[in-house]
């Protein structure tokens, strides 16, 4: 069995000699737990509303107390926060990964009363977590830069906005008529915007890769070859690097040469 965080849960937890409300509360707490550490806000309202027709609020409270007395959970901050003990399951724990470090920092910042017991339970080295907490606090305490009064610097702000717009403006690619015709000759059923996208790949090959003059012939051969017709169904990956460190179009062309015994000639 596993809970919401896909951590294995010992099934024997439900074989304990607990009352029915305690068993229901235990299952619900594990199901609702949003993290592997077992620390989160106690879902009192959810428990009472969900089982309102089955148990009284006093029975649910009694079930919670039963779990506390048995050592399964502990409540903090006026019973607003719950810690499901031993949920992390880190016996023999050593070292902290980056993801775990971020989570422990969150626990230390938002649930400091729980973290003291949590740290003792798992014998955590506090220095690395504390360093991350200190860095986070320093970042939050840094003052934002003062906003400039645009009324005092109208010309400067206007120039800045103009320069920003120029930087953000992207070059618009316009496919050549030749590349469009080549794509349509390879894939007649293709429509926009895919024609323009694949035309750009052919133009990039011509501009960057110094291809042979008969590359288009090789590509037309590929879409009829028993092997390559399944590997070549779009021009987009033609400039992708293959495992042999060749571009895909180079592998197609080499296979075409070998199959037809036509020598490559220079441009």
Extract the tokens encoding 24: 């229901």
Nearest-angstrom CA–CA distance, 105 and 97: 12
Q: Cβ atoms within 10 A of the Cβ of 41, count?
A: 13
Specify the pLDDT at position 147. 52
Q: Considering only CA atoms, which of 116, 43, 109, 54 is closest in space to residue 81?
A: 43
Condensed to tens digits (0 to 9), the pLDDT of residues 157-170 reads 555 555 555 544 45
* Residue pair 39/83 in contact by the 8 Å Cβ criterion: yes
Across the range 192-211, mean pLDDT stands at: 89
Specify the pLDDT at position 171. 55
DSSP 236: G
Nearest-angstrom CA–CA distance, 60 and 56: 7
Specify the pLDDT at position 169. 47
Condensed to tens digits (0 to 9), the pLDDT of residues 92-125 reads 444 556 666 777 777 888 888 888 787 777 666 5
Secondary structure (3-state) at 87: coil
On the question of a cis peptide bond just before residue 36, with omega within 30 degrees of 0, the verdict is no
Strand order in the sheet with 81-84: 39-41, 81-84, 73-76
pTM across the whole model = 0.42
Domains along the chain? 1-88 (1.10.10.10), 90-140 (no CATH), 177-260 (no CATH)
Condensed to tens digits (0 to 9), the pLDDT of residues 32-88 reads 888 888 888 888 888 888 888 888 888 888 889 988 888 888 999 888 899 888 777
Specify the pLDDT at position 219. 94
């Amino acid at each position: 069995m596993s809970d919401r965080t896909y951590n294995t849960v010992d099934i024997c937890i439900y074989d304990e000699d607990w009352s029915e409300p305690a068993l229901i509360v235990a299952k619900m707490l594990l199901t609702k737990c949003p993290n592997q550490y077992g620390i989160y806000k106690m879902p009192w309202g959810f428990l009472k509303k969900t089982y309102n027709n089955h148990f009284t609020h006093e029975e649910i409270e009694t079930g919670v107390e039963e779990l506390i007395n048995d050592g399964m959970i502990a409540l903090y901050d006026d019973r607003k926060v719950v810690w499901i003990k031993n949920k992390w399951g880190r016996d023999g724990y050593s070292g902290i990964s980056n993801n775990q470090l971020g989570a422990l920092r969150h626990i230390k910042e938002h649930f400091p009363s729980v973290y003291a017991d949590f740290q003792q339970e798992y014998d955590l080295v506090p220095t690395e977590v504390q360093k991350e907490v200190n860095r986070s606090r320093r970042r939050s305490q840094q003052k934002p830069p003062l906003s400039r009064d645009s009324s005092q610097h109208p010309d400067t702000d206007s120039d800045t906005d103009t320069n920003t717009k120029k930087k953000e403006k992207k070059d618009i690619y316009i496919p050549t008529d030749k590349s469009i015709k080549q794509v349509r000759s390879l894939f007649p059923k293709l429509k926009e915007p895919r024609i323009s996208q694949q035309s750009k790949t052919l133009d990039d090959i011509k501009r960057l890769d110094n291809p042979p003059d008969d590359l288009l012939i090789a590509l037309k051969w590929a879409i009829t070859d028993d092997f390559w017709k399944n590997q070549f169904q779009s021009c987009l990956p033609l400039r992708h690097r293959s495992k042999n460190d060749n571009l895909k179009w180079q592998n197609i062309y080499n296979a075409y040469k070998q199959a037809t015994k036509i020598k490559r000639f220079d441009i």
